């Protein structure tokens, strides 16, 4: 097999952090080479260097045995490198065809766009994918799986020999994932090399030939997947054996922290009632779209409820806004942590202190000294790696950004913490850390609600599970009481009959 790409000795530093240290990576024609590692291990940086977005401090890039001397985004695209980022780069209100040919629209004499040719070429490009996708459809109206396909088609139209995919399966459902893998196999057959970044280790054996594991900016191992089990990969990622992937929960007290009664919102949820004790973790299982996030936002006052009572530590509270909820002792750590949890342009300090300014103001003036002490302690407790508290959050790695979101709520010491998909998009090592954090919060007397679409974690981490289907809690289980199949069948609205 011809070697398409060879990156050798790549190093890159950002202010205060070494992102990559002497990393090698190569890719052959017709190969899928997976790139895995914990958040902040350097995967994205390496791929951005390949895309010409970042310039490596040291190291060489060879494409088809020719050294690339001055990589920039344009020349790397021209050289046949296409990167499909996790946040897709499509224009929502343009059509599929326009997106594929953006900036390269076929034109007729006089400069007018040649729509006929454009459509025909797009149809040709899309034909191998074997799906019903209208080239005239607007991007915002098609699902994430199709958007992914549009990106791939765009890469192919650019005659890309190398395609980088960053977490391509994250937004996809099971059958869409299968279809994507089918497409990747077609790409392989036609001689394209694919660099494949993913946190979903269980997928790798289905799709990848080789795997490279990065840890803290260094390459740990490159090996054929046939030679490694998932456990081996995890071991290499974290540098330790994960003996305790799901740490066991402690006994909780019988004191009620939160009780919700008859929570109803038309078209969203109906008569949702449940309670959580102090020291307890309550899981909310269900499929995406079952209404779990919406239920949490209703409790938190981010949406207006039609009816329902909310009782915090035995006292009924009126919640009309997020402010009411926070004052009542409820915290919501949102699913989209970057978009909804952080202010990227502000410092670690400003982000972490956002929830406690109101508690530390005297005569109108913020008590920076108290706040500084609390935030510094929290940054230490959570192990947030940052050169200083005035560092802009944008410059931190993804994993550290996540922790800043947590620090912001932990400094406030709430009674109830609602975590919406706390482990989405993060790697195994970081997941265990999150589980442990939730448990230590619970051990300190807080009540935790954990919304998760990952069946295994939602069955194993919490003390109790509520299964949501169609905006209702259809079943509650104690930990260990139900099998995966039972929970899934309730989540599918089958009421446990499928087991």
What tokens were used for 28? 């052959």
The DSSP string of 26-39 is EEETT-EEEEEEST
Does residue number 33 form part of the binding site for another protein (CB under 8 A)? no
Does residue number 325 form part of the binding site for another protein (CB under 8 A)? yes
State the Cα–Cα distance between residues 325 and 496, nearest whole angstrom.
35
What tokens were used for 227? 């030679």
Q: Quote the least distance from Cβ 413 to another protein, whole Å.
A: 14
- Tell me which residues in 199-238 interact with another protein (CB under 8 A): none
- Tell me which residues in 389-418 interact with another protein (CB under 8 A): 390, 408
Spatial neighbors of 283 by CB under 8 A, at least 6 apart, are: 450, 451, 452, 458, 459, 461, 462, 464, 465, 466
Pick from 85, 181, 274, 302 the residue near another protein by CB under 8 A: 302
For the window 1-20, what string marks contact with another protein as x by the rule CB under 8 A?
Answer: --------------x-----
Burial of 65 (0-12, 13-18, 19+ CB in 10 A): exposed
Does residue number 53 form part of the binding site for another protein (CB under 8 A)? no
Pick from 1, 102, 344, 443 the residue near another protein by CB under 8 A: 344
Q: 3-state DSSP call for residue 429?
A: helix
CA 261 to chain centre: 32
Q: 3-state DSSP call for residue 410?
A: helix
Q: Quote the least distance from Cβ 293 to another protein, whole Å.
A: 12
Pick from 104, 159, 185, 327 the residue near another protein by CB under 8 A: 327
Segment contacting another protein by CB under 8 A, of 73-81, 257-265, 334-342, 455-463: 334-342
Does residue number 317 form part of the binding site for another protein (CB under 8 A)? no
Q: Which is nearer to another protein, 326 or 488 (CB)?
A: 326
Does residue number 52 form part of the binding site for another protein (CB under 8 A)? no
Segment contacting another protein by CB under 8 A, of 106-114, 226-234, 316-324, 429-437: 316-324
State the Cα–Cα distance between residues 164 and 197, nearest whole angstrom.
8
For residue 163, the cross-strand partners are: 82, 194
Does residue number 357 form part of the binding site for another protein (CB under 8 A)? yes
**The dihedral of CA 467, 482, 199, 384: what is its sign?**
positive
Q: Which is nearer to another protein, 334 or 462 (CB)?
A: 334
Q: Quote the least distance from Cβ 73 to another protein, whole Å.
A: 14
Does residue number 73 form part of the binding site for another protein (CB under 8 A)? no
Does residue number 457 form part of the binding site for another protein (CB under 8 A)? no
Pick from 74, 364, 480, 497 the residue near another protein by CB under 8 A: 364
**In the block, residue with structure tokens 């054929």:** 224
Instruction: Supply angle C-alpha 30, 33, 36, rounded to 5.
Output: 165
Segment contacting another protein by CB under 8 A, of 48-56, 220-228, 252-260, 322-330: 322-330
Q: Which is nearer to another protein, 107 or 320 (CB)?
A: 320
Does residue number 358 form part of the binding site for another protein (CB under 8 A)? yes
State the Cα–Cα distance between residues 347 and 368, nearest whole angstrom.
14
Angle of helix 115-126 versus helix 144-157 axis, rounded to 10: 110
Dihedral through CA 69, CA 75, CA 79, CA 80, nearest 10? 140
Q: Which residues bind another protein (CB under 8 A)?
A: 15, 302, 321-323, 325-327, 332, 334, 339-346, 350, 353-355, 357-358, 361, 364-366, 368, 390, 408
């Amino acid at each position: 097999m011809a070697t398409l790409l060879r990156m050798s000795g790549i190093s890159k530093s950002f202010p205060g952090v070494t992102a990559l240290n002497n990393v090698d990576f190569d890719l052959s024609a017709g190969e899928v080479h997976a790139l895995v590692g914990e958040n902040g291990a350097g995967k994205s940086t390496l791929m951005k260097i390949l895309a010409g977005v970042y310039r490596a401090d040291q190291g060489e890039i060879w494409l088809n045995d020719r050294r690339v001397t001055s990589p920039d985004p344009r020349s790397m695209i021209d050289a046949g490198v296409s990167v499909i980022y996790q946040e897709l780069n499509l224009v929502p209100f343009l059509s599929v065809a326009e997106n594929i040919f953006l900036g390269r629209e076929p034109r007729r004499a006089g400069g007018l766009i040649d729509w006929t040719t454009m459509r025909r070429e797009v149809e040709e490009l899309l034909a191998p994918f074997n799906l019903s996708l209208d080239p005239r459809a607007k991007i915002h109206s098609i699902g994430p799986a199709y958007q992914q396909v549009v990106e791939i088609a765009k890469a192919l139209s650019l005659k890309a020999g190398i395609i980088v995919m960053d977490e391509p399966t994250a937004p996809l459902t099971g059958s869409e994932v299968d279809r994507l893998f089918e497409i990747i196999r077609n790409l392989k057959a036609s001689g394209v090399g694919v660099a494949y970044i993913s946190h979903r280790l269980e997928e790798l054996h289905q799709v990848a030939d080789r795997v490279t594991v990065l840890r803290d900016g260094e390459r740990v191992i490159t090996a054929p997947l046939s030679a490694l089990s998932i456990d081996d990969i995890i071991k290499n990622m974290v540098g330790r054996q994960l003996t305790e992937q799901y740490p066991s929960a402690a006994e909780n007290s019988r004191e009620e922290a939160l009780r919700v009664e008859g929570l109803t919102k038309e078209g969203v949820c109906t008569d949702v009632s449940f309670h959580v004790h102090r020291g307890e973790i309550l899981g909310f299982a269900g499929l995406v779209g079952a209404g779990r996030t919406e239920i949490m936002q209703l409790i938190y006052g981010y949406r207006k409820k039609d009816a329902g009572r909310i009782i915090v530590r035995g006292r009924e509270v009126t919640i009309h806004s997020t402010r009411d909820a926070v004052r009542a002792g409820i915290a919501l750590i949102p699913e989209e942590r970057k978009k909804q949890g952080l202010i990227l342009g502000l410092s670690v300090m400003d982000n972490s202190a956002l929830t406690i300014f109101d508690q530390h103001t005297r005569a109108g003036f913020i008590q920076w000294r108290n706040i500084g002490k609390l935030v510094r302690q929290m940054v230490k407790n959570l192990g947030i790696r940052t050169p200083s508290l005035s560092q802009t959050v944008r410059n931190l790695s993804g994993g550290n950004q996540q922790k800043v979101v947590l620090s912001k709520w932990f400094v406030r010491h709430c009674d109830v913490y609602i975590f919406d998909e706390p482990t989405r998009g993060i790697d195994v090592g970081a997941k265990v850390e999150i589980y442990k954090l939730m448990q230590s919060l619970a051990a300190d007397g807080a009540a935790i609600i954990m919304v998760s679409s990952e069946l295994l974690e939602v069955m194993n981490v919490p003390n109790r599970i509520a299964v949501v289907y169609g905006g209702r809690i259809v079943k509650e289980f104690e930990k260990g009481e139900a099998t995966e199949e039972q929970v899934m069948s309730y989540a599918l609205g089958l009421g446990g009959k499928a087991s």
